[in-house]
Amino acid sequence: MSYRLFFGIRPPAAIRAGLLETMTGIDNARWQDDGQLHLTLRYVGEVETHMADDLAEAAAAIRFEPFELRISGCGFFERKGRPTSIWAGIEPSDPLVRLQRKVELACTGCGLPPEGRKFKPHITLARLNLSSGPATPFLVSCAGLSLGPWLVDSYILYQSHLRDQGSLYEPVLTYSAGAQ
């Protein structure tokens, strides 16, 4: 059996509500719903049961202290000069980078190839396609977006289920700060 997995941080309800309030103004954007709002630490992809078990065990050995995060501004990822997704940015955070590196090391230690992309902490707000309206007015309106801080005292191993209306993210295991 295979599982589509990733590790992420789930913002608290107040932060998610603040993000949801911003999600308007781009025609035909596929806005994320409350259940989809997260900060990805490491996308794993499709793995078989034994690898999923190994990853879960390796992640359980990761130690970190609670730390704060803040939302700061917004931006987009693009392909061939067209925005493909809109995101809320995360203020630079050394503890976040350290946690992400530990998760990355756990993944590569289990035999996954290293992540090829540079870690860019963000929370995806919308996915865009060729029928989506212009993103610039939205990006201008949320340039000063500021939410938080919030305390990060855990991260989650998620299973992703693909659906027509967008992925469903199911928490599988939660890893707490300082837990043994």
Q: Where are the domains of the chain?
A: 2-176
Residues 6 or more apart whose CB falls under 8 angstroms from that of 111 comprise 51, 54
Spot the catalytic one: 16, 42, 122, 127: 122
pLDDT (0 to 100) of residue 180: 46
**Maximum distance among all alpha carbons in the chain?**
49
Q: Exposed/middle/buried for 25, CB within 10 Å: 0-12, 13-18, 19+?
A: middle
β partners of residue 90: 71
User: Average of pLDDT values for 106-119?
Assistant: 96
- In 10-161 the beta strands, taken as DSSP E runs, fall at 30-31, 39-48, 67-79, 82-90, 122-127, 146-152, 154-161
Residue with tokens 């756990």: 106
Give the predicted TM-score (pTM) of the model: 0.94
pLDDT (0 to 100) of residue 179: 56
C-alpha span between 154 and 147 (Å, rounded): 19
Question: Average model confidence (pLDDT) for the chain?
Answer: 95
Virtual CA dihedral for 108, 110, 112, 114, nearest 10 degrees? 0
pLDDT (0 to 100) of residue 163: 79
Please list the alpha-helical segments (H only) found in the chain: 13-22, 49-60, 94-109, 136-141
122 catalytic? Reply is yes
* pLDDT tens per residue across span 21-62: 999 999 999 999 999 999 999 999 999 999 999 999 999 999
Q: What CATH number is given for 2-176 in this structure?
A: 3.90.1140.10
Spot the catalytic one: 5, 7, 36, 38: 38
φ, ψ of residue 67 to 5 degrees: the values are: -150, 165
pLDDT (0 to 100) of residue 55: 98
